[in-house]
Amino acid sequence: MTKDSSPTQLTHFDQQGQAHMVDVAAKQDTHRTAIACGVIRMKAETLAIITEGTAKKGDVLGIARIAAIMAAKRTSDLIPLCHPLALTRVHVDFSITTETNTIQCQAQVETVGKTGVEMEALTAVQVGLLTIYDMCKAVDRGMVMSDIRVLEKHGGKSGDWVSLIDQQDHN
């Protein structure tokens, strides 16, 4: 990999096209943050079970929050070329929209280090949503997870990035 890599260059491949873990030794430690989100859509009855706290397996969103935090911490065990990171913060929120029978999961992950935390935030969101599915699949196997994406990232050499899609949605 060259030092001056463009954003379109795939950094996880060497000059021979072999997969490798990116060398971050020369990079400076900076405070890095990423925010990701995703949605799970379900039947109104399923959402009612979650919001009323009557799921047979327990507090669905409480358990999904813990699962999301644990997943962020274990991302490098799941994604082969991810660096193991010492996370300084993982914050997970769920918001319920009864009109669309959806729950949105949003994760903010932070570290002080040489590489970003986008993968950790995305992993937290996906595992949080998977946990909701797992806990409620007995009553609703048709739940759909979608729109998993990075909303923003801050820190590092490339600086700040905010999703233009979400900026357009809010204007």
Among residues 88, 97, 93, the alpha carbon closest in space to that of 107 is found at 93
The whole-angstrom separation of Cα 58 and Cα 16 is: 51
Q: Considering the candidates 77, 93, 134, 147, report the single residue annotated as catalytic.
A: 134
The whole-angstrom separation of Cα 124 and Cα 75 is: 8
134 has catalytic annotation: yes
CB-CB neighbours of 59 under 10 Å? 13
| Residue whose token pair is 């979400």 | 166
Provide the annotated active-site residues. Answer: 134
